[in-house]
């Protein structure tokens, strides 16, 4: 469990989350080379997730755990970063299993207009 939680915090969220934020707020055009590097690292994270899910229903086997909840948060929106999620069949099947769990809730709220790069939102970090 700890390995997946550390993976989420140290590789997955910083890259998938940042790439998605930059793409949705227009920051990807401001520093395309930095965005491309984040996107490459995000894809590497998805490839790790793809391998980790091979032959398993959930990250730790048959049981749905906090590791699945944690990684789902960014995995289900990775496509919004411009990543072709069709390349990750295991991840796609896992996302559907997570969404089919009893009590599942997706309460993601879109970024507000003020988050846009040209709206005085947070500065770009590389």
Q: Which strand (E) or helix (H) includes residue 93?
A: helix 89-99
**CATH number of the domain to which 42 belongs:** 1.20.1050.10
Confirm whether 82 is domain-assigned: yes
Determine the average pLDDT of the residues in 62-77: 97
Q: What is the pLDDT of residues 28-53, one digit of tens each?
A: 999 999 999 999 999 999 999 999 99
Q: Which strand (E) or helix (H) includes residue 34?
A: helix 32-53
Domain residues for the domain of 47 are 2-105
Q: Is the pTM of this model over 0.85?
A: yes
Confirm whether 10 is domain-assigned: yes
Confirm whether 114 is domain-assigned: no
Confirm whether 126 is domain-assigned: no
Q: What is the pLDDT of residues 89-123, one digit of tens each?
A: 999 999 999 999 999 999 999 889 899 988 765 55
Alpha carbon distance 27, 122 (integer Å): 10
Confirm whether 38 is domain-assigned: yes
Confirm whether 6 is domain-assigned: yes
Number of domain units in the chain: 1
């Amino acid at each position: 469990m700890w390995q997946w939680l550390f993976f989420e915090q140290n590789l997955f969220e910083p890259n998938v989350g940042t790439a998605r934020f930059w793409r949705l707020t227009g920051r990807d055009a401001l520093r395309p080379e930095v965005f491309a590097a984040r996107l490459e690292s995000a894809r590497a994270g998805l490839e790790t997730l793809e391998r980790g899910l091979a032959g398993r229903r959930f990250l730790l086997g048959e049981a749905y755990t906090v590791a699945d909840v944690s990684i789902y948060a960014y995995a289900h929106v990775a496509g919004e970063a411009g990543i072709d999620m069709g390349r990750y069949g295991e991840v796609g099947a896992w996302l559907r299993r997570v969404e089919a769990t009893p009590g599942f809730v997706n309460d993601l709220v879109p970024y507000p207009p003020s988050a846009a790069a040209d709206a005085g939102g947070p500065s770009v970090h590389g």
